[in-house]
């Protein structure tokens, strides 16, 4: 598997075990577990916090294998970044803790996992084969024999949480985004829209980014833009390059979402 549980330092033992045995990346925790972790981050630090604080919030040990694997799984879904003992929500992580964007964020997170995307591409719209057949497909995709049952269980569990069985209990069907519904389902089925890739912003009251930067009225300013302005820290606050890029991407997404080009239609 690609990636590390603790970027910037050595890989965790759990990460090494999975990588040594499988050649395709998947998660050991379901999307529901990882969504719980993102909500714990929000309750502790808004958009990010130390791993020690997060582990304490979840009543786990920061050095324990279970906690580290859950952090690794959350990162594999694309919901967080980890560096030097600190965990930070990504743009997608911010969306999955926002009730107005959570459904589409779950779909994107599920398809971020290489194994799950491969399985979806092979199974979409068809009656699910027996569990043994699904495990054989996973073996062919690169899952190690000892991991096939766990991989299959977490795959099915995560697909259900992401809504892929909402239309039919025995067929993988990707939930439609609002833009796909609005355009009569003509958007590409397997690829998120540009706005979705960048990540739609959360509404103002949901996340408070420490220090509080912009204040003031907001009359005439769309809620989505106003919410992003309230995420900005005070002037002079140090910010990582990645965090700056995430905020810029979120602003770009909001503008594209609110003000479509001529002929694009309403989203």
Percent helix / strand / coil, the chain, rounded to 5: 50, 5, 45
Q: How many CA atoms lie less than 13 Å away from 29 in the CB half-sphere? A: 23
Q: Is the pLDDT of residue 63 over 60?
A: yes
DSSP string, 114-162: HHHHHHHHHHBTSBPPPHHHHHHHHHHHT--GGGHHHHHHHHHHHHHHT
Residue 235 burial (C-beta neighbours within 10 Å; 0-12, 13-18, 19+): exposed
Q: What's the pLDDT band for 2 if we cut at 50, 70, 90?
A: very low
Distances (CA, A) of 122 to 11, 116, 141: 32, 10, 11
> Do 84 and 10 form a contact (C-beta atoms < 8 A)?
no
Query: What percent of the chain has pLDDT above 90?
Result: 55
Q: Is the pLDDT of residue 228 over 80?
A: no
Q: Is the pLDDT of residue 246 over 50?
A: yes
pLDDT tens digits for 120-163?
999 999 999 999 999 999 999 999 999 999 999 999 999 999 99
Strands 80-83 and 86-89: antiparallel
SS3 175: coil
Q: What's the pLDDT band for 111 if we cut at 50, 70, 90?
A: very high
Q: Is the pLDDT of residue 43 over 80?
A: yes
CATH of domain 13-96: 1.10.10.10
End-to-end, the C-alpha distance of the chain in Å comes to 37
Secondary structure element (H or E) that encloses residue 93, with its range: helix 91-96
Query: Which residues lie closer than 8 Å to 174 by C-beta, 6 or more apart?
Result: 107, 120, 124, 164, 189, 190
Lowest mean pLDDT among 16-25, 91-100, 111-120, 171-180: 16-25
Comparing CA positions, the residue from 25, 209, 178 lying closest to residue 105 is 178
* Average pLDDT for the chain: 79
Comparing CA positions, the residue from 259, 264, 247 lying closest to residue 199 is 247
Which DSSP category does 183 fall into? T
Mean pLDDT of 49-69: 95
Query: What percent of the chain has pLDDT above 70?
Result: 72
pLDDT value for 46: 85
> Do 49 and 87 form a contact (C-beta atoms < 8 A)?
yes
């Amino acid at each position: 598997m690609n990636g590390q549980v603790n970027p910037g330092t050595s890989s965790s033992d759990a990460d090494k075990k999975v990588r040594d045995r499988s050649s395709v990346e998947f998660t050991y925790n379901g999307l529901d577990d990882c969504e719980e972790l993102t909500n714990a981050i929000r309750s502790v630090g808004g958009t990010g916090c130390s791993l020690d604080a997060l582990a304490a919030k979840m009543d786990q040990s920061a050095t324990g294998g279970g906690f580290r694997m859950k952090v690794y799984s959350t990162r594999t879904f694309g919901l967080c970044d980890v560096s030097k003992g600190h965990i930070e929500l990504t743009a997608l992580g911010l969306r999955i803790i926002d009730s107005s964007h959570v459904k589409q964020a779950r779909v994107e997170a599920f398809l971020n996992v290489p194994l799950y995307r491969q399985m979806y591409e092979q199974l979409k719209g068809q009656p699910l084969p027996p569990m043994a057949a699904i495990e054989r497909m996973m073996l062919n995709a690169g899952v190690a024999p000892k991991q096939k049952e766990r991989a299959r269980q977490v795959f099915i569990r995560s697909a259900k949480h992401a809504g892929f069985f909402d239309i039919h209990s025995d067929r993988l069907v990707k939930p439609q985004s609002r833009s796909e519904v609005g355009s009569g389902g003509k958007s590409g089925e397997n690829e998120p829209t540009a706005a979705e890739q960048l990540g739609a912003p959360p509404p103002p009251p949901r996340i408070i980014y420490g220090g509080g930067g912009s204040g003031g009225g907001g009359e005439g300013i769309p809620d989505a833009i106003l919410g992003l302005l309230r995420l900005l820290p005070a002037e002079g606050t140090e910010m990582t390059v990645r965090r700056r890029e995430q905020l810029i991407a979120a602003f770009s997404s909001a503008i594209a979402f609110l003000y479509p080009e001529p002929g694009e239609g309403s989203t």
